[in-house]
Amino acid sequence: MIKKGFALLIVFGFFVACNEDGDKEKVSPKIVSFDTDQNSSLMFQDNEAVAVMTSDSRAYNIAQIIRVKTVDTKNIEVSNFAPFDIENATILATIEGKGQVQLFKIKKIRAHATQSMKYPFVDGTDLFLSSDNKEIDLSQYKTTGVDPGKISFDFTGDSEIILKLKKLQALKWTISYYDYDPNNDPNNNWEPIKAKDIRRFSGLMLNMGIVFVSDKFKQAFLKEQIIGNDGTTALTLAEKEKVYNDILTHSRFYCGKCTNVSGLGGGTTLGYADYILNGYISTDEGDITVHEIGHCVGFNHDSNMTYPKTINNVSTGISPVMTRINKEFFSGGLFIVTLQNYYKPADFQ
């Protein structure tokens, strides 16, 4: 009896498995690629107008580095704001009243590629899979499309690079690029921003972001003695937790190119000099970049949230913490953007 029951279970199990595979094949998400000049164009190239590169339409959230946005009820625009190619991403859509579906898969999207496309349900596909592989019928939207206010997007995947990018969900940074010196005025510390600056900057923000969200950085920062804007009072643990949270949830950075000084920061303004944009990818320093973030979250030069202070003969503050953790990331190959995956190595020459 035992043997017979076992055999029946095996047969039954096999049958169910076959059925499931068949269903999945029938509703498997559409697969697209944005990997050639024929199926996509590139943002932030040398011939692109600065007004376009710095426009609001080019703002992106660092947590949504593959940005999907609605064009109208039937069309979307898919853009990669990372300076490297991304493969095997699944685009998820949450539609009001329908839950979350796997909208389509991207086999490959080029660095800084952008492309508009019709929704797959407008283009012939009726059945989609939910995140947990249940069938969802979207044929009701075939002719009407979807109200842009009733749909939102996300991306997922299990490659190493996508898993790193997903860690950035803890950041609320909206990033856009800004020309602080359109007339090339020699009497300020800014210079006109160029496409190459934006391309490099896009990588710098990813690498800085991955350090901030790491538990290593968080723990080291919370242990560090941080002095406030009066130059003497040490922040309490609760105050340091708030500062850490302020960094992660900083809502906006308008990123520009400065000159004469290494960096400029405050509020939503964030600028770095050419040698910073050029050097971050091949050095383990992080003191300048984080100094400006200290300004952005409200600290002045009397606080060691900008320049370090020597306390008991030890260089103390957010800059030494960042430099220490940066070294670990650099030597451990933990950064997101590297000279190996950055799409235009000549940008760093």
155-159: long-range contacts at Cβ-Cβ below 8 A with a sequence spacing of 24 or more? 155/64, 155/66, 155/68, 155/89, 155/90, 155/91, 155/92, 156/89, 156/90, 156/92, 157/88, 157/89, 157/90, 158/88, 159/87, 159/88
Binding mask 89-128 for Zn ion (x = CB under 5 A): ----------------------------------------
Cβ-proximal residue to Zn ion, closest one: 306
Contact 229, 302 (CB under 8 A): yes
Residue 128: how many other CB atoms lie within 10 Å:
24
Residue 98 or 295: the one with the smaller Cβ distance to Zn ion is 295
**Residues numbered 301-320 forming contacts with Zn ion, rule: CB under 5 A:** 306
Residue span binding Zn ion (CB under 5 A) among the ranges 69-77, 187-195, 300-308, 336-344:
300-308
Locate 95 and state its tokens: 């539609």
Helix (H, G, I), strand (E, B) or coil at 311: strand
Stretch that binds Zn ion, among 58-66, 154-162, 275-283, 298-306 (CB under 5 A): 298-306
How far apart, in whole angstroms, are the C-alpha atoms of residue 203 and residue 307?
24
Shortest Cβ distance from residue 295 to Zn ion (Å)?
Answer: 6
The least CB distance from residue 271 to Zn ion, in Å, is 11
SS3 71: coil
Shortest CB 276 distance to Zn ion, Å: 13
Q: How far is the CB of 303 from Zn ion (least distance, A)?
A: 10
Element (H, E) at 20: helix 2-27
Q: Which residue number, 86 or 296, has a Cβ lying nearer to Zn ion?
A: 296
Q: Which is nearer to Zn ion, 175 or 270 (CB)?
A: 270
Applying CB under 5 A, what is the total number of residues that bind Zn ion?
Answer: 1
Q: Whose CA is closest to 71, among 116, 122, 32, 109?
A: 116
| 63/243 with CB nearer Zn ion | 243
Output the smallest distance, CB 261 to Zn ion, in A.
Answer: 8
Contacts with Zn ion, residue ranges (CB under 5 A) = 306
